[in-house]
Protein backbone atom coordinates (compact mmCIF):
# COMPACT_ATOMS: atom_id res chain seq x y z
CA UNK A 1 0.00 0.00 0.00
CA UNK A 2 2.74 2.41 0.98
CA UNK A 3 4.71 1.81 -2.25
CA UNK A 4 1.49 2.38 -4.24
CA UNK A 5 0.98 5.69 -2.44
CA UNK A 6 4.56 6.71 -3.12
CA UNK A 7 4.14 5.85 -6.82
CA UNK A 8 0.92 7.85 -6.95
CA UNK A 9 2.64 10.84 -5.38
CA UNK A 10 5.49 10.57 -7.90
CA UNK A 11 2.99 10.39 -10.75
CA UNK A 12 1.19 13.45 -9.43
CA UNK A 13 4.48 15.35 -9.16
CA UNK A 14 5.42 14.41 -12.74
CA UNK A 15 1.96 15.47 -13.82
CA UNK A 16 2.57 18.89 -12.29
CA UNK A 17 6.15 19.31 -13.48
CA UNK A 18 5.40 18.89 -17.19
CA UNK A 19 2.58 21.50 -17.39
CA UNK A 20 4.72 23.70 -15.13
CA UNK A 21 7.55 23.57 -17.67
CA UNK A 22 5.09 24.42 -20.46
CA UNK A 23 3.73 27.37 -18.52
CA UNK A 24 7.25 28.60 -17.77
CA UNK A 25 8.32 28.26 -21.42
CA UNK A 26 5.18 30.15 -22.50
CA UNK A 27 5.94 32.91 -19.99
CA UNK A 28 9.46 33.29 -21.35
CA UNK A 29 8.21 33.18 -24.96
CA UNK A 30 5.47 35.73 -24.24
CA UNK A 31 7.89 38.04 -22.44
CA UNK A 32 10.49 37.86 -25.22
CA UNK A 33 7.88 38.52 -27.93
CA UNK A 34 6.42 41.43 -25.97
CA UNK A 35 9.85 42.94 -25.47
CA UNK A 36 10.56 42.61 -29.17
CA UNK A 37 7.46 44.57 -30.11
CA UNK A 38 8.85 48.10 -29.36
CA UNK A 39 11.99 47.26 -31.35
CA UNK A 40 9.80 46.21 -34.27
CA UNK A 41 7.96 49.53 -34.01
CA UNK A 42 11.26 51.46 -34.02
CA UNK A 43 12.24 49.64 -37.20
CA UNK A 44 8.86 50.43 -38.78
CA UNK A 45 9.24 54.12 -37.91
CA UNK A 46 12.76 54.10 -39.32
CA UNK A 47 11.56 52.61 -42.58
CA UNK A 48 8.68 55.07 -42.88
CA UNK A 49 10.16 58.31 -41.63
CA UNK A 50 13.93 58.29 -42.05
CA UNK A 51 15.37 60.52 -44.74
CA UNK A 52 15.50 58.77 -48.11
CA UNK A 53 18.63 59.78 -49.94
CA UNK A 54 18.27 60.28 -53.65
CA UNK A 55 20.67 61.22 -56.44
CA UNK A 56 18.96 64.57 -56.92
CA UNK A 57 18.64 65.55 -53.24
CA UNK A 58 21.67 64.11 -51.57
CA UNK A 59 22.04 65.37 -48.02
CA UNK A 60 25.05 65.13 -45.74
CA UNK A 61 24.14 62.53 -43.08
CA UNK A 62 25.79 64.66 -40.38
CA UNK A 63 22.93 67.13 -40.64
CA UNK A 64 20.65 64.66 -38.81
CA UNK A 65 22.79 65.02 -35.72
CA UNK A 66 22.94 68.80 -35.84
CA UNK A 67 20.93 70.44 -33.06
CA UNK A 68 20.17 73.68 -34.98
CA UNK A 69 18.79 71.74 -37.93
CA UNK A 70 16.77 69.35 -35.76
CA UNK A 71 15.30 72.20 -33.71
CA UNK A 72 14.09 73.98 -36.84
CA UNK A 73 12.88 70.74 -38.37
CA UNK A 74 10.87 69.96 -35.23
CA UNK A 75 9.33 73.45 -35.27
CA UNK A 76 8.44 73.10 -38.93
CA UNK A 77 6.85 69.68 -38.33
CA UNK A 78 4.69 71.09 -35.51
CA UNK A 79 3.49 74.03 -37.61
CA UNK A 80 2.91 71.81 -40.63
CA UNK A 81 0.76 69.47 -38.58
CA UNK A 82 -1.27 72.33 -37.07
CA UNK A 83 -1.79 74.01 -40.44
CA UNK A 84 -2.95 70.73 -42.00
CA UNK A 85 -5.67 70.53 -39.35
CA UNK A 86 -6.52 74.25 -39.49
CA UNK A 87 -7.30 73.90 -43.18
CA UNK A 88 -10.25 71.70 -42.25
CA UNK A 89 -13.34 73.14 -40.52
CA UNK A 90 -13.25 70.45 -37.87
CA UNK A 91 -12.44 70.75 -34.15
CA UNK A 92 -8.98 69.39 -33.36
CA UNK A 93 -6.55 69.08 -30.46
CA UNK A 94 -2.96 70.25 -30.16
CA UNK A 95 -0.76 68.82 -27.41
CA UNK A 96 2.35 70.79 -26.50
CA UNK A 97 4.26 68.51 -24.14
CA UNK A 98 7.20 70.83 -23.26
CA UNK A 99 4.74 73.63 -22.38
CA UNK A 100 2.32 71.17 -20.67
CA UNK A 101 -0.66 72.61 -22.54
CA UNK A 102 -3.44 71.21 -24.66
CA UNK A 103 -5.51 73.41 -26.94
CA UNK A 104 -8.78 72.79 -28.67
CA UNK A 105 -8.75 74.66 -31.95
CA UNK A 106 -11.08 75.34 -34.84
CA UNK A 107 -9.54 76.62 -38.07
CA UNK A 108 -6.41 77.82 -36.29
CA UNK A 109 -8.31 79.65 -33.55
CA UNK A 110 -7.74 78.43 -29.99
CA UNK A 111 -11.17 77.95 -28.45
CA UNK A 112 -10.12 76.21 -25.24
CA UNK A 113 -6.85 75.79 -23.36
CA UNK A 114 -5.93 73.46 -20.52
CA UNK A 115 -2.86 72.67 -18.48
CA UNK A 116 -1.45 69.17 -18.37
CA UNK A 117 -0.98 68.24 -14.73
CA UNK A 118 1.08 65.13 -15.34
CA UNK A 119 2.43 63.40 -18.41
CA UNK A 120 4.10 60.08 -19.18
CA UNK A 121 5.40 59.35 -22.65
CA UNK A 122 6.65 56.16 -24.25
CA UNK A 123 10.42 55.91 -24.47
CA UNK A 124 10.13 55.48 -28.22
CA UNK A 125 8.59 58.93 -28.52
CA UNK A 126 10.74 60.46 -25.80
CA UNK A 127 14.17 59.14 -26.74
CA UNK A 128 13.64 58.12 -30.34
CA UNK A 129 15.65 59.53 -33.22
CA UNK A 130 14.83 63.25 -33.34
CA UNK A 131 14.48 63.41 -37.12
CA UNK A 132 12.31 60.29 -37.33
CA UNK A 133 10.01 61.33 -34.50
CA UNK A 134 9.66 64.88 -35.86
CA UNK A 135 8.77 63.42 -39.26
CA UNK A 136 6.18 61.21 -37.57
CA UNK A 137 4.70 64.24 -35.79
CA UNK A 138 4.69 66.37 -38.94
CA UNK A 139 1.36 64.82 -39.88
CA UNK A 140 -1.65 65.06 -37.58
CA UNK A 141 -2.83 61.85 -35.95
CA UNK A 142 -6.35 60.67 -36.70
CA UNK A 143 -8.38 58.96 -33.99
CA UNK A 144 -9.49 55.48 -35.01
CA UNK A 145 -11.05 54.29 -31.73
CA UNK A 146 -12.26 55.86 -28.51
CA UNK A 147 -12.73 54.11 -25.17
CA UNK A 148 -14.28 56.27 -22.54
CA UNK A 149 -15.98 56.30 -19.17
CA UNK A 150 -18.42 58.95 -20.44
CA UNK A 151 -20.56 58.97 -23.59
CA UNK A 152 -19.46 61.14 -26.49
CA UNK A 153 -22.99 62.46 -26.82
CA UNK A 154 -25.09 62.30 -23.64
CA UNK A 155 -28.29 61.49 -25.51
CA UNK A 156 -31.57 61.11 -23.61
CA UNK A 157 -34.51 59.58 -25.44
CA UNK A 158 -37.95 61.02 -24.81
CA UNK A 159 -41.13 59.66 -26.34
CA UNK A 160 -43.53 62.30 -27.62
CA UNK A 161 -46.84 62.53 -25.72
CA UNK A 162 -49.91 61.38 -27.63
CA UNK A 163 -51.90 64.42 -26.53
CA UNK A 164 -51.71 67.38 -24.15
CA UNK A 165 -52.91 65.27 -21.20
CA UNK A 166 -49.72 63.17 -21.42
CA UNK A 167 -47.45 66.20 -21.73
CA UNK A 168 -45.05 66.80 -18.85
CA UNK A 169 -42.74 69.81 -18.89
CA UNK A 170 -39.01 69.03 -18.87
CA UNK A 171 -37.31 68.62 -15.54
CA UNK A 172 -34.28 70.84 -14.91
CA UNK A 173 -31.22 68.79 -15.92
CA UNK A 174 -28.94 67.52 -13.21
CA UNK A 175 -25.66 69.31 -13.88
CA UNK A 176 -24.02 67.97 -10.74
CA UNK A 177 -22.75 64.80 -12.40
CA UNK A 178 -19.58 63.46 -10.85
CA UNK A 179 -18.95 60.67 -13.28
CA UNK A 180 -15.18 60.25 -13.59
CA UNK A 181 -13.76 61.27 -16.96
CA UNK A 182 -11.14 58.90 -18.33
CA UNK A 183 -10.62 57.98 -21.95
CA UNK A 184 -8.26 56.38 -24.40
CA UNK A 185 -7.89 57.56 -27.98
CA UNK A 186 -6.25 55.12 -30.36
CA UNK A 187 -4.69 56.70 -33.40
CA UNK A 188 -4.52 55.26 -36.89
CA UNK A 189 -0.70 55.20 -36.71
CA UNK A 190 -0.71 53.01 -33.60
CA UNK A 191 -0.04 55.75 -31.06
CA UNK A 192 -2.36 55.82 -28.05
CA UNK A 193 -3.31 58.93 -26.10
CA UNK A 194 -4.70 58.25 -22.65
CA UNK A 195 -6.42 61.04 -20.77
CA UNK A 196 -7.24 60.59 -17.10
CA UNK A 197 -8.90 63.11 -14.83
CA UNK A 198 -6.55 64.71 -12.34
CA UNK A 199 -8.91 65.12 -9.40
CA UNK A 200 -10.10 62.35 -7.15
CA UNK A 201 -13.56 63.71 -6.46
CA UNK A 202 -14.82 60.82 -4.37
CA UNK A 203 -13.40 57.54 -3.07
CA UNK A 204 -15.11 55.58 -5.82
CA UNK A 205 -13.20 57.47 -8.53
CA UNK A 206 -9.94 55.68 -7.76
CA UNK A 207 -11.70 52.34 -8.08
CA UNK A 208 -13.41 53.51 -11.24
CA UNK A 209 -10.10 54.52 -12.78
CA UNK A 210 -8.58 51.17 -11.76
CA UNK A 211 -11.45 49.31 -13.42
CA UNK A 212 -11.28 51.41 -16.56
CA UNK A 213 -7.51 50.99 -16.84
CA UNK A 214 -7.74 47.25 -16.15
CA UNK A 215 -10.34 46.74 -18.87
CA UNK A 216 -8.12 48.50 -21.38
CA UNK A 217 -5.03 46.54 -20.32
CA UNK A 218 -6.92 43.23 -20.58
CA UNK A 219 -7.99 44.14 -24.08
CA UNK A 220 -4.37 44.77 -25.03
CA UNK A 221 -3.28 41.44 -23.52
CA UNK A 222 -5.92 39.60 -25.53
CA UNK A 223 -4.71 41.24 -28.73
CA UNK A 224 -1.08 40.45 -27.86
CA UNK A 225 -2.00 36.82 -27.09
CA UNK A 226 -3.67 36.46 -30.49
CA UNK A 227 -0.46 37.56 -32.23
CA UNK A 228 1.85 35.56 -30.01
CA UNK A 229 -0.10 32.34 -30.44
CA UNK A 230 0.29 32.72 -34.20
CA UNK A 231 4.05 33.27 -33.74
CA UNK A 232 3.90 36.96 -34.65
CA UNK A 233 5.50 39.80 -32.72
CA UNK A 234 2.55 41.71 -31.20
CA UNK A 235 1.90 45.34 -32.03
CA UNK A 236 3.39 47.90 -29.72
CA UNK A 237 1.46 51.09 -29.11
CA UNK A 238 3.60 54.08 -28.11
CA UNK A 239 1.59 56.06 -25.61
CA UNK A 240 1.11 59.56 -24.27
CA UNK A 241 -0.59 59.54 -20.86
CA UNK A 242 -2.02 62.86 -19.72
CA UNK A 243 -3.62 63.90 -16.48
CA UNK A 244 -5.96 66.84 -16.98
CA UNK A 245 -8.48 68.64 -14.78
CA UNK A 246 -11.83 66.86 -15.02
CA UNK A 247 -13.74 69.72 -16.65
CA UNK A 248 -11.07 70.13 -19.34
CA UNK A 249 -10.94 66.39 -19.99
CA UNK A 250 -14.71 66.35 -20.46
CA UNK A 251 -14.74 69.41 -22.72
CA UNK A 252 -12.01 67.96 -24.94
CA UNK A 253 -13.61 64.53 -25.23
CA UNK A 254 -17.06 65.91 -26.02
CA UNK A 255 -15.70 68.48 -28.48
CA UNK A 256 -13.46 66.19 -30.52
CA UNK A 257 -15.20 64.38 -33.36
CA UNK A 258 -15.30 60.58 -33.33
CA UNK A 259 -12.40 60.50 -35.81
CA UNK A 260 -10.88 63.82 -34.83
CA UNK A 261 -7.31 64.89 -35.38
CA UNK A 262 -4.50 65.59 -32.94
CA UNK A 263 -1.10 67.25 -33.32
CA UNK A 264 1.69 66.60 -30.82
CA UNK A 265 4.79 68.66 -30.08
CA UNK A 266 7.42 67.06 -27.86
Partner 1 sequence: MENELLPEERLQPAEKNETGSDGLNKNKDAGTGEKSFFQRLSENKELMVTFHRVFLWLISLLAVISIFVYFIYIIPLLQEIPSPRKGILTNSAELKKEASYKKLISQLNRDVQRFSRKYNGYTTGQSYLVINTTDNIFHLYRNKKQIREGHCSTGSFKMLKTEEGRSWIFKTPKGKFWIQGKITNPPWRRPDWAYVEEGLPIPSQDDASRYEYGVLGDYAMALGDGYLIHGTIYKRFLGMPVTHGCVRLNDEDLKAIFNTLSIGSKVYIF
**Which 178-197 residues touch partner 1, going by CB under 8 A?**
none
Q: In the bound complex, what is the minimum distance in angstroms from residue 100's beta carbon to partner 1?
A: 20
Query: What is the closest distance, in whole angstroms, from the C-beta atom of residue 104 to partner 1 in the complex?
Result: 6
Distance CA 84, CA 79 (A): 8
CB 122 to partner 1: min, Å: 7
Q: How far is the CB of 52 from partner 1 (least distance, A)?
A: 16
Nearest in space to 256 (alpha carbons), one of 137, 90, 136: 90
Using CB atoms within 10 Å of the CB of residue 243, give its burial: 0 to 12 exposed, 13 to 18 middle, 19+ buried: middle
Q: What are the phi and psi torsion angles at 80 (to 5°)?
A: -60, -45
From 4-12, 95-103, 194-202, 245-253, give the range in contact with partner 1 by CB under 8 A: 245-253
Contact at 8 Å (CB) between 198 and 162? Answer: no
Q: Which is nearer to partner 1, 70 or 97 (CB)?
A: 70
Taking the complex as a whole, how short is the minimal distance between the CB of residue 55 and partner 1, in angstroms? Answer: 15
**Choice from 18, 207, 218, 229 touching partner 1 (CB under 8 A):** 218
Map residues 38-77 to x or -, x wherever contact with partner 1 holds by CB under 8 A. xx--x----------------xx-xxxxxxxxx-xx-xx-
Shortest gap between Cβ of 240 and partner 1 (angstroms)? Answer: 13
The residue among 69 and 117 lying less far from partner 1, judged by its C-beta, is 69
Q: Which long-range contacts (CB under 8 A, 24 or more apart) does 44-53 make?
A: 45/124, 45/128, 45/129, 45/132, 45/133, 45/136, 46/129, 46/132, 48/136, 49/131, 49/132, 49/133, 49/135, 49/136, 50/129, 50/131, 50/132, 50/135, 51/131
Interaction with partner 1 in 84-143: which residues (CB under 8 A)? Answer: 86, 89-91, 104, 106-112, 122-124, 127-131
Phi-psi region of 190 (alpha: psi -120 to 50; beta: other; left: phi over 0): left
Q: How far is the CB of 113 from partner 1 (least distance, A)?
A: 11
Question: 63 vs 201, which CB is nearer to partner 1?
Answer: 63
Answer yes or no: are the C-beta atoms of 138 and 79 closer than 8 Å. no
Q: Does 215 bind partner 1 (CB under 8 A)?
A: no
Q: Please, which of residues 135-174 interact with partner 1 by CB under 8 A?
A: 153-167, 170, 172-173
DSSP tag of 149: S
Phi and psi, residue 100, nearest 5°: 55, 45
Nearer to partner 1, 66 or 188 (CB): 66
Amino acid sequence: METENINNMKGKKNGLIIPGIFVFVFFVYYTVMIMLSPLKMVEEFREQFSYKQSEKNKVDERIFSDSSYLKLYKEKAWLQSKIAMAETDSIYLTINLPDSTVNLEISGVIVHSANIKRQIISKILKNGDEYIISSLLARPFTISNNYSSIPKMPLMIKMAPKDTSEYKPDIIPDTADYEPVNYVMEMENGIVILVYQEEKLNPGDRLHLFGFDLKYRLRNILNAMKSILTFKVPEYHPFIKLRLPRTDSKIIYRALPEHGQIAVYR
